[in-house]
Chains A and B, each alone.
Chain A
Amino acid sequence: MTPGTTAPRASARALLFHAGGLHARPAIKLTKLAKRFESRVRLAAAAQGPWVDAKSVARVMGMKTPSGSTLFFEAEGRDAEEAVAALAHLVEGDFAGAEEADA
């Protein structure tokens, strides 16, 4: 971002129902998807945070989020809107049938 301009911001939320929670496989899928966007993307398991970098698998898995939690996304950058929509969609679609054996 060039200084002085305000970057677009967007946010979204999604219910995590992947069995067991945000395990290795879903965490990897989530960070891979987040990295496809140039915006800065943050993730939290509560509306007030704490927020972590959604592009870091260490941070995302380190949240140890249990199933049934609501995930909050915030993005800042040119493609912020697309980023949070795609990430919420991934979580709501249960990581498109994220593989089983990481349970």
Chain B
Amino acid sequence: LPALRKRTPETLRLSGTPASPGLARGALVIVGDLDPVGAEAVAGGDPAAALRAALEQAARQLTQLAAGVREDQTAAAAILELQTALLEDPVMTDPAFEAIAAGASPEKAWLTAAELQIRDYREAADPYFRARTADLIDLRDRVLRCLRGTAAAVLPGDAILIARDLPPSRFLEISWCGGGIALHEGSPQSHLSMLARARGVPMLVGVPSADLAAHREALLDADRGDLVASPDPVVAREFASRQSAALVSEAAERSFRSRPAQLPSGERVLVQINVNDVGELPGLDAGHCDGVGLVRTELLLRRMADLTDEELQFEAYRRVMTWAEGKPVTIRTLDAGADKPIAGYTVAGESNPFLGVRGLRLSLRKPEILTVQLRALARAAALGPLKVMAPMVTLPGELERFRRLMAEAVRSLQASGVDCRTPSVGMMVEVPAAAVAIDLFETDFVSIGSNDLVQYLTACSRDSAELAALQDPLQPGVMRLIRAVIEHARIRGIEVSVCGDMASDPRYVPALLEVGLRCFSVGPAALGRVKKAICAAEAAED
């Protein structure tokens, strides 16, 4: 009997950096790199015709892949489009045919021609162009496989794929159904990572190389950052129960994610998203939300040089506007300072930075910097319904000055014939004094920043775990003030939303609905669960 028992290798645990969250379990499949100088194709026939056929076959494969790309996967579409265009470009292919005419084999000829292009990108200073190297290598290998008549093995969509790196086009060939990826190289910012997140495929990058050949099964925990090969039964059981719990809640959330949130009474509740990074937009579907409720520009503009670069800012805002497809977009001017310093701009060494010169207070002290941002915003306002919001407003006079600077920016743009519009101007409500006296502010809309409002109202530092119990946002002191702000906005007929973490947490949704909130702005990952909570809360009320 012992002779029949297959020896299972000992459990091997490796850590990596999560690039796309989630849990996956499956057969462990090692994906080797294609050897570009591997066996030559069987000689014979017309070498030029063989290359022509391989190029045509590769182009057909790319067209097929492109047809399967979803509309929101613009990154994937761009890669495939580039590869297709290169195949049709004589500058790319002619050197190969010339080499064949001079006696080279089709493989050798293609490798040389491809290398001419690849070499040029490998050394590029600009990271965007350097990253195209991978797309060109991917194209080179696709044509090589066509020449050799070896289709790349179709990789299973239910396995844990281990690879050095994986080209996006191979990712797109896989019919994903529960599998995951662990890469020895790669980065969370790569195109592949974006595709994995958009497709919901768990992925780790930077996993150390190890001899995995003897292992047959693996668990991939891309929430915590673990790859476990040949897990023991206890670990496997624990993993399976986490996985099924996650599946249940994911499935429920996903079914809500794409639908508008609506109370049974038929009343619509708006759910917008908060944007911290313009780069994540292509992976998100604008159709799943009611616009953008908060763009945190201090997270887009991290360097002093960005603050004076109107074109760079306009481009970032333009991208948000384009993505939103005509839905409303609220962009907040810089809320730098406190836990979000910008070297050379924010004040260093304050004894209590959360109560210091930050947000609008700092902007009004540096009007030349604020004006750059307001100019870029006024230009973006010409592209669609844009609302501009000032952070950390304390007194009505501050908002007035902000408004005047906006008007001046618009006038100066108009004077030089630049396309622009005056956006609506509103304020964050997070300073208690402003919340209590909200009726004195000349504002087009308000957005409640629950994180700071709770910290200031309860006199509890946000980072104090010790005082967590005192910071419960549901306590009467907080909820009464939120109710008062919402009621005031309703009477005035101006829009009111909550854009802090409180809005993204389903536990607080019923209470916020109860005080009259009908517009939530949440982290993109929370869309499904907040919408689900909105429907469930109303049902519980009945």
Pairwise interchain contact A28-B282, C-beta atoms closer than 8 A = no
Stretch of A41-49, A60-68, A72-80, A82-90 contacting B (4+ beta carbons < 8 Å): A60-68
Q: A28-B81, A64-B126, A64-B129 are in contact. Are A58 and B74 (CB under 8 A)?
A: no
Q: A20-B128, A21-B128, A28-B82 are in contact. Are A58 and B117 (CB under 8 A)?
A: yes
Pairwise interchain contact A17-B85, C-beta atoms closer than 8 A = no
Residue of A nearest to B129 (CB): A64
Pairwise interchain contact B319-A58, C-beta atoms closer than 8 A = no
Q: A31-B85, A57-B85, A58-B117 are in contact. Are A103 and B91 (CB under 8 A)?
A: no
Q: Which of B92, B117, B132, B282 contacts A24 (CB 8 A)?
A: B132
Residues of B in contact with A (beta carbons under 8 Å apart): 73-75, 77-79, 81-82, 85-86, 89-92, 117, 120, 124, 126, 128-129, 132, 135, 194, 279, 281-282, 311-312, 315-316, 319, 322-323
Pairwise interchain contact A19-B126, C-beta atoms closer than 8 A = no
Residue of A nearest to B194 (CB): A101
Q: A31-B85, A56-B89 are in contact. Are A99 and B78 (CB under 8 A)?
A: yes
The distance from the CB of B59 to the nearest CB of chain A, in whole angstroms, is 14
Cα(A23)–Cα(B85), bound, Å? 13
Q: Which of A56, A67, A97, A101 contacts B75 (CB 8 A)?
A: A101
Query: How many residue pairs at the A-B interface have CB separations less than 8 Å?
Result: 74
Pairwise interchain contact A101-B85, C-beta atoms closer than 8 A = no
Closest A-B pairs by Cβ, 9 of them: A101-B74, A101-B75, A101-B282, A19-B315, A56-B91, A102-B78, A24-B82, A58-B91, A57-B85
Kindly list chain A residues whose C-beta atoms are within 8 Å of the C-beta of B126: 20-21, 64, 66
Interface class of chain B by DSSP: helix
Cα(A27)–Cα(B126), bound, Å? 16
Residue of A nearest to B126 (CB): A64
Residues of A in contact with B (beta carbons under 8 Å apart): 17, 19-21, 23-25, 27-28, 31-32, 53, 56-59, 61-62, 64, 66-68, 97, 99-103
Cα(A53)–Cα(B91), bound, Å? 9
Residue of B nearest to A31 (CB): B85
Known: A57-B86, A57-B89, A101-B73. 6 other contacts (CB 8 A): A20-B128, A24-B81, A66-B126, A99-B77, A101-B74, A101-B75
Q: A24-B81, A102-B78, A103-B128 are in contact. Are A58 and B281 (CB under 8 A)?
A: no
Residue of A nearest to B78 (CB): A102
Kindly list chain B residues whose C-beta atoms are within 8 Å of the C-beta of A61: 82, 129, 132
Q: A23-B128, A58-B91 are in contact. Are A100 and B282 (CB under 8 A)?
A: yes
Q: Can you identify 15 A-B contacts, CB atoms within 8 angstroms? A: A20-B126, A24-B78, A24-B82, A24-B132, A24-B135, A28-B81, A53-B91, A57-B85, A61-B129, A62-B117, A64-B126, A99-B77, A100-B281, A101-B75, A103-B279
The distance from the CB of A30 to the nearest CB of chain B, in whole angstroms, is 11
